[in-house]
């Protein structure tokens, strides 16, 4: 047994404690906690009768969602809106839909803004321990033609008045910005968070003062880098370069600044914006309804991703589940009464831009949409649908998902969810719902991070989610009644 230097055997409790610490002692650092295991999907003895059961069985035995996902992320990779890889993904999706026999396969263009290509991202301390720091250039912000050096400074906060009080002291500085937690959908704006107009003024002030760059901190621990979000009025028009540091690197800079000593960084941020604005596209394919073809059920997902990894979970899983749901219905030979349409949006990560463009372009047809269902919460099993407070559709939706109750799809909550593409249809009064999914380690590790890769996908959960999309869409398409629409909202300025 293990003993101390005197050869005296250790007490069992001490021995157990040291064994637990052994990986840390050997490696010299705290190990990253393992991702939570995926919850086991229930396995009833048989599938439900009728078309829902046929679809579930076919997807379980012949489903292509995992193979398609691997092809998408390993051959095309990250799909930043406006990029060449995103353009390749449009062609890939249209080819898949055409090969399976979908009807009306096409793409619909919309005006995006300036495309962006990542370059070399590096940061290095020039003072103190001179260590390199892990950094990710924030997409759609300008870069540098060559490495730059600046002194680090952390304002008390990023309110315009606070920064204006530092007028004349910011030229050539690299500013640290601590970002508060993003408010939940529908929650009031936290005190002190600038509105879009204030942010525009703040950005212009930083540019005029000659600020070199703004650095924020990743929202994930253990060296995970994240990206996402935008704080400027137009895509590609951020006035100063911006980047994200790991929590460990950001906090190290804060500690050094607390010593009241100069802290200098060398930055290489090589991302480049296109010289002219570009278009992006939504991809569409459908099964025409046999009795009410003008009425439509939309299965939605976004095909764009951030570019630190391959966007396997956000939202490659939703994309491939949507394609497979349509394929399974086509392959079954069953004829839905209403049209079932898959729409693969782009520009979701920059503010639901593609789905907003789609809804606006089709606004005169939206009164014929039975429902919109969107899969965009990672790879976890779909537990149900968030009904956006729609008590008037709760009973109908409970019936819609009843064939899959024994397979984990049983929730019809009144939760109001935003931040994904169903929200673009809500102002028009359309019944539009986001999937409620098991999060597992999605938000703690994977979401918008450099580990959003195929290895983080849970195939069994993706199977159940694909079945849930297919069954929900089929049942909605064949429901006797129409789901009621709400009165459209009054026109308003688009959120920025």
Q: What is the pLDDT of residues 326-379, one digit of tens each?
A: 999 999 999 999 999 999 999 999 999 999 999 999 999 999 999 999 999 888
Same domain as 453, residue 312 = yes
Judge contact between 278 and 114, C-beta under 8 A.
Answer: yes
The pLDDT tens digits of the residues spanning 232-243 come to 556 667 789 999
What is the pLDDT confidence band of residue 290, given thresholds at 50, 70 and 90? very high
Task: Answer yes or no: do 266 and 296 share one domain.
Answer: no
Residues facing residue 372 across a β-bridge: 298, 432
Domain boundary among 270, 294, 318: 270
C-beta neighbour count of 272 within 10 angstroms: 14
Per-residue pLDDT at 192:
53
Render pLDDT for 250-264 as a digit per residue (tens, 0 to 9). Answer: 999 999 999 999 999
Please enumerate in sequence order all residues whose Cβ is within 8 A of that of 286, keeping only pairs 6 or more positions apart, or say none. Answer: 102, 103, 104, 296, 326, 339, 340, 341, 342
pLDDT in tens, 195-224: 667 777 888 999 999 999 999 999 999 999
Number of domains in the chain: 2
> How many alpha carbons fall within 13 Å on the CB side of residue 332?
25
- How far is the C-alpha of 226 from the C-alpha of 245, rounded, in Å? 8
| 360 and 410 together in one domain | yes
**Where do we find the tokens 């898949």?**
96
Give the per-residue pLDDT at 187: 43
Could you list the beta-strand ranges (E) of 347-492: 369-374, 382-386, 411-413, 432-437
The CA distance from 359 to 378, in Å, is 24
Same domain, residue pair 423 and 459: yes
Placement of tokens 């920064």 in the chain: 163
Domain annotation covers residue 212: yes
What CATH number is associated with residue 92? 3.40.630.10
State whether 334 and 393 are in the same domain: yes
Q: Which of 226, 249, 270 is the last residue of a domain?
A: 270
The secondary element (H helix, E strand) that includes residue 60 is: helix 50-62
User: Which residue in the block uniquely carries the two structure tokens 């004829």?
Assistant: 335
Rounded mean pLDDT of 93-111?
Answer: 99
pTM: 0.88
- Separation of alpha carbons 448 and 72, rounded Å: 17
Q: Say yes or no: 147 and 63 in one domain.
A: no
Domain that holds residue 251: 119-180+192-270
pLDDT digits (tens, 9 = 90+) for 395-444: 999 999 999 999 999 999 999 999 999 999 999 999 999 999 998 788 88
What burial letters (b/e) apply to 312-329, b meaning 16+ CB within 10 Å?
bbbbbbbbbbbbbbbbbb
Determine what percent of the chain is predicted with pLDDT higher than 90: 78
Does one domain contain both 236 and 332?
Answer: no
**The pLDDT of residue 34 is above 60:** no
> What is the rounded distance in angstroms from the CA atom of residue 66 to the CA atom of residue 60?
11
Range of weakest confidence among 13-22, 265-274, 315-324: 13-22
- Verify that 108 and 131 share a domain, yes or no: no
Whether 320 contacts 302, CB under 8 Å: no
pLDDT in tens, 449-465: 999 999 999 999 999 99
Chosen domain end from 270, 285, 315: 270
Q: Is residue 40 part of a domain?
A: no
pLDDT of 486 strictly over 90: yes
Q: Say what the pLDDT of residue 15 is.
A: 40
Question: Do 311 and 458 belong to one domain?
Answer: yes
101: left (phi over 0), alpha (psi -120 to 50) or beta: left
Report yes or no on 371 lying in a domain. yes
SS3 193: coil
Token representation of residue 222: 């253990």
What is the chain's mean pLDDT, rounded? 88
CATH number at residue 161: 3.50.30.30
């Amino acid at each position: 047994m293990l003993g101390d230097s005197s050869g005296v055997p250790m007490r069992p409790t001490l021995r157990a404690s040291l064994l637990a610490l052994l990986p840390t002692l050997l490696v010299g650092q705290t190990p990253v906690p393992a991702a939570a295991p995926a919850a086991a999907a229930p396995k009833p003895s048989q599938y439900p009768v009728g078309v829902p059961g046929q679809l579930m069985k076919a997807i379980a035995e012949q489903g292509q969602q995992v193979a398609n996902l691997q092809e998408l992320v390993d051959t095309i990779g990250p799909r930043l809106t406006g990029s060449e890889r995103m353009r390749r993904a449009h062609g890939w999706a249209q080819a898949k839909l055409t090969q399976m026999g979908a009807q009306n396969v096409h793409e619909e263009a919309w005006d995006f803004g300036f495309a962006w290509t990542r370059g070399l991202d590096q940061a290095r301390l020039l003072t103190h321990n001179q260590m390199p720091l892990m950094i990710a250039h924030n997409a759609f912000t300008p870069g540098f033609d060559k490495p730059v050096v600046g002194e680090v400074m952390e304002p008390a906060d990023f309110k315009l008045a606070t920064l204006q009080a530092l007028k004349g002291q910011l030229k050539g500085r690299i500013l640290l910005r601590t970002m508060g937690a993003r408010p939940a959908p529908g929650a009031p704006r936290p005190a002190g968070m600038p509105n879009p107009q204030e942010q525009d003024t703040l950005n212009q002030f930083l540019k005029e003062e000659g600020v070199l760059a703004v650095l924020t901190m990743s929202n994930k621990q253990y060296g995970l880098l994240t990206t996402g979000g935008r704080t400027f009025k137009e895509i590609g028009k951020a006035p100063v370069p911006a980047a994200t540091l790991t929590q460990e690197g950001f906090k190290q800079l804060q500690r050094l600044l607390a010593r009241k000593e100069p802290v200098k960084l060398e930055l290489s941020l090589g991302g480049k914006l296109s010289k002219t604005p570009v278009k992006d596209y939504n991809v569409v394919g459908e099964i025409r309804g046999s009795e009410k073809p003008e009425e439509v059920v939309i299965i939605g997902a976004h095909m764009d991703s951030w570019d630190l990894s391959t966007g396997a979970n956000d939202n490659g899983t939703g994309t491939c589940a949507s394609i497979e749901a349509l394929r399974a219905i086509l392959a079954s030979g069953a004829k839905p009464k209403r049209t079932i349409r898959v729409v693969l949006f782009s520009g979701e990560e920059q503010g639901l831009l593609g789905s907003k463009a789609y809804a606006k372009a089709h606004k005169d047809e939206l009164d014929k949409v039975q429902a919109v269902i969107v899969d965009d919460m990672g790879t976890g099993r779909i537990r149900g649908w968030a009904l956006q407070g729609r008590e008037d559709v709760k009973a109908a939706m409970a019936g819609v998902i009843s064939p899959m109750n024994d397979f984990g799809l049983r929730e019809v909550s009144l939760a109001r969810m935003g931040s994904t593409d169903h929200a673009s249809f809500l102002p028009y009064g359309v019944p539009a719902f986001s999937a409620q999914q098991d999060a597992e380690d999605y938000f703690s590790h994977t979401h918008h991070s450099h580990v959003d890769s195929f290895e983080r996908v849970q195939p069994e959960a993706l199977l159940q989610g694909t079945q849930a999309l297919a069954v929900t869409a089929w049942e909605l398409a064949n429901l006797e009644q129409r789901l009621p629409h709400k009165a459209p909202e009054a026109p308003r300025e688009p959120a920025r």
